[in-house]
Structure 1
Amino acid sequence: MSVLRLAGAVLVDDETVLPEVWVVDGRLAMSPPAGAEDSGAEEIRGWVLPGLVDVHCHIGLGPDGAVTVEDAVLQGKADRDAGTLLVRDAGSPMDNRWVQDRPDMPRLVRAGHHLARPRRYIRHYARELDDVAELPAAVAQEARSGDGWVKIVADWIDRSAGADADLAPLWPADVLADALAAAHEAGARVTAHTFSREAIGPLLDAGIDGIEHGTGMDPDHVAEAARRGIPVTPTLLQVGRFDRIAEQAEGKYPRYAERMRRMHARRYEHVAQLHDAGVPLLMGSDAGGTIGHGSLPAELAEVVRAGVPVDQVLAAASWRARAFLGAPGIESGASADVVVYATDPRRDITALAEPSAVVLRGSRH
C-alpha cells in the first residue's frame, strides 16, 4: 500500500478547510487508512489545493501551428510543474488525445480543432471553412471528436477592407445559431474567441456557452452574460499584448490598431466590470502560440491586479473550475491531483508561482 499524508490546511472549497487528507494508492482519503502509522508514509505540509485548472490552453500548438509530440510533452509538463493539473483545450491543430493516456501529463478536456474561415485567423491554427454554411456540420463533427466542447473563432480582422480593415464577425447570425444548435444537440458546449463588440450580440442570441477574451463586451452584454451565467475567460496575458499588435498594424490598418489600443488600455477596468456585475470568470493562460506554457500563475496575478479579490481568483482557478468542467476536486476516492504551497495563496496570489509539491494521479512530480 502506497500512502502519503498531506497536512496543514487543505482548501477543499470556499468554506471547507481540512487539517489533512491522505493519498492511498493514488486516491484521496479523508481519514488515515488502517496501518498508516506503520506504513512509513511520507508527509507533505503546507497549503493544499485541488490541482489548478487552465480553461484556455493549447497543448500541441506553437507559433507556426501544430508542434511535434516531443514539444507538446514539454508544453504539458511545463503546465503541470506550474500546478496546472487540468486543462480545457481551447483548440489545437494537433490531435492531442494521446495526452490523456500519459500519467505524467495534465488531465485534458479536448475541444478539437478551432473553426474559422480562410484568411480570417492565424495561419495554420484553425480548420478553415471555405463556405460559412459549412459551420453547423463542422461544429457537429468537432463535437463528436472532442470531449464535450467546441471552439469557434467568432471574429478577426478583415483585411479585405484595406486601410479601413477592422475586427469583424466571421459568421452570419443565422448560421451561428444553427451551429450552436447542432453542438447542443450533440451534447457539446461551444466557447468562442471574440475581441470585438460586434460579435458578442449574435453569440449571446445563439446561446453561446462561454466567451474567450470578451474584450468588446459592452455594459448590456455584461449584464446579459451575468443574468444567464455565461462564463468569460479574460486571458489578460494575451490582452496585455494588444499594444504590440497595434504597433505592428498601425501603418497598414490604422482603424484596427486604434481599437486594439483602446481595449488594451481598459483591460483591467473591463475585467473588474465583469466581476462586479456577477459574470462567472474562468481562468485561462492562452498558452500556446505566443504565450508560454506554465503561465497560469502569472495570469491569475494579472486578474488580481485588475481588482478581483484573491480568494475569488483562487476559487475560479481550482474548485469552481473543476465543478464547471465536471471534474472532481478534493473528495474521497478521487484521484490525488493536488498542489501544495509553502505560504497561503488566499493571502498572496503570487504564492502560486512556487508550488512546493505537485501530486498528479497520486505521484509526486
Structure 2
Amino acid sequence: MVVRIRGRALPHGEPVDLYADGDRWTTDPVPDVEPVAEGWLLPGLVDAHTHPGAEAPGDPLDHGLLREHLRQHVDAGVAVIRAPGLADEPPPWFGVDPGTPRAWHAGPWLAQHGQFFDGWGRRADHDRLPAIAAAQAGRTGWAKVIGDWGPTGDPVPLAVLTAVVEAVHAVGGRVAVHTQQAAGGEAAVLAGADSLEHGMLLDRSLLARMAERGTALTPTLSVLERTAPEVRRRPDSPGKRWFLRGAESHAALVAAAAEAGVRVLAGTDSVPHGRILDEVRALAGAGLRPHAALAAASWDARAYLGLPGLQPGAPADAVVYAEDPRTDLDQLAHPTAVILRGRRVR
C-alpha cells in the first residue's frame, strides 16, 4: 500500500503532498490513494545520544532488549538514532531492520586505562587510541572517546585527542567525545571533535570556536536535570559538588551555546528509552525557542547526519500531529501517525 501524507511541513510550515515510493518521498501522484494522515508534519524525530540494548552500565548487549528499546523509540516518533557508544558491536540488522530506527553508532566506547564503566568499552594506551578510533570509524562512521571521567580523572591529553580526530577524519569518520569537565571539554573543542556529549562545565569562551568549526553539542540536559534531585540528597562529597555545579549551570550553558550559533542536538541518554519529548521540553525550558528545540530533535539533527527533510527524494520518515507542535510541545506525545522507511508503524 502506498503511504501518502499531506499537510504543513516543518521547519517552514509550507503545504506538502507526498507519497512514499518505497523508502523515498515523491510528489508524483498515485490515483485513488487516500492520505494516511493529514496535519502538521515533522520529518521523523532523532535521538542523537542513546545507548540501547543494555539496562545498566556494564551489562552485555542483549539483542532482544535492543529490539525492545528501539521499539520504544519508534513509539515516540523517533525514526533516527545516534548511539555514541554501545555495549558491543550490534547485530547486522541494527539500523536497517524494518520497524526500527535508522541508526548511526560508534561501537563500544574508547577510554583511557582506569576510566569508564567496567565491562563496557575498550581501554587503550594513548599511542594506540588513534588507530583504534580510525578502525572503528572506518567500519561505522563514528568513534566515541571518553574524554574525561568523573570529577578528578585526568582528561585525554590534547595531543592524543588531536591525533584521534585527525586519524578518524582521514578515513572519513567523525568523533564524539564524552566530557563533563572544563579541561576535557576544552581539549575536545581544541582537538576539533565533531560533537561534545554532555559538555558539562564547558568554558563558554569556547562556544564561538565550536560554532565556527561546526562542532555540535549534545547536552543530554533532561537526564542531568532529572538526576540532580537524587544527587542533592547524598552526603556531601567532591563528586556531589562537581555534579551539581555542572548540572545546575547546564541549562544556561545550552542557551548560551544556541545563542552563539552552536548546533544543539537532542539526546536522552536514559532508560527507559523513547523519552525524546523530555529532552525537547528541557531545551525549551533552558531558553531555546520551541522552533529551535524541535529542530534539535528533528530536521536540524537529520541534516547533521546527512538526511534531508520532507522533500522529494528524501528518506520516507515522518511524524504527523493534529496541531503545530511549535505552539504546543506536548503534541509530541500524541502523534496521529508515524511513518518509518515508507511504512506506517503507528
Unpaired segments of 5 or more residues in structure 2?
A: none
Counting only pairs closer than 5 Å after superposition, residues 96-107 of structure 1 correspond to structure 2 as 96=90, 97-107=92-102
Q: What secondary structure does 2:6 align onto?
A: strand
What's 2:157 paired with? 172
In structure 2, relative to structure 1, the CA distance for the partners of 1:19 and 1:137 (3 Å cut) is closer
Counting only pairs closer than 5 Å after superposition, residues 79-98 of structure 1 correspond to structure 2 as 79-96=73-90, 97-98=92-93
In the TM superposition, residue 248 of structure 1 has moved relative to its aligned partner by 7.7
What's 2:302 paired with? 322
What's 1:283 paired with? 266
1:73 aligns with 2:70: no
Aligned AA (2:133) = V
Aligned AA (1:23) = A
Q: Deviations over 1:202-229 (max 9, x none)?
A: 2222111111111111121223212323
Counting only pairs closer than 5 Å after superposition, residues 126-137 of structure 1 correspond to structure 2 as 126-129=121-124, 131-137=125-131
Aligned AA (2:214) = G
**Residues 212-221 or 14-23, more deviating:** 14-23
Q: Deviations over 1:248-276 (max 9, x none)?
A: 8745xx22211211112222222111112
In the TM superposition, residue 168 of structure 1 has moved relative to its aligned partner by 3.3
Contact 2:9 2:42 in 1 (8 A): yes
1:210 aligns with 2:205: no
Distance 1:236 1:305 in 2: 10
Q: Deviations over 1:73-96 (max 9, x none)?
A: 000010011011011111102222
Distance 1:123 1:248 in 2: 26
Contact 2:46 2:302 in 1 (8 A): yes
What's 2:8 paired with? 9
In the TM superposition, residue 192 of structure 1 has moved relative to its aligned partner by 0.5
Counting only pairs closer than 5 Å after superposition, residues 7-156 of structure 1 correspond to structure 2 as 7-11=6-10, 14-15=11-12, 17-33=14-30, 36-37=31-32, 40-63=33-56, 64-96=58-90, 97-129=92-124, 131-146=125-140, 148-156=141-149
Q: Highest CA radius of gyration, 1 or 2?
A: 1
Contact 2:133 2:164 in 1 (8 A): yes
Q: What secondary structure does 1:57 align onto?
A: coil
Aligned AA (1:260) = F
Distance 2:277 2:295 in 1: 13
What's 2:169 paired with? 184
In structure 2, relative to structure 1, the CA distance for the partners of 1:125 and 1:247 (3 Å cut) is farther
In structure 2, relative to structure 1, the CA distance for the partners of 1:115 and 1:25 (3 Å cut) is closer
In structure 2, relative to structure 1, the CA distance for the partners of 1:241 and 1:42 (3 Å cut) is closer
What's 1:162 paired with? none
More strand by share: 1
Give the number of aligned pairs: 343
Cα RMSD over matched residues?
A: 2.0
Contact 1:150 1:188 in 2 (8 A): yes
Distance 1:93 1:221 in 2: 31
Aligned AA (2:164) = A
Contact 1:180 1:208 in 2 (8 A): yes
- TM (normalized to structure 1)? 0.88
What's 1:357 paired with? 337
Contact 1:29 1:331 in 2 (8 A): yes
Unpaired segments of 5 or more residues in structure 1?
A: 158-165
Distance 1:295 1:206 in 2: 32
What's 2:211 paired with? 226
In the TM superposition, residue 340 of structure 1 has moved relative to its aligned partner by 0.8
Counting only pairs closer than 5 Å after superposition, residues 246-257 of structure 1 correspond to structure 2 as 246-247=231-232, 250=235, 254-257=237-240
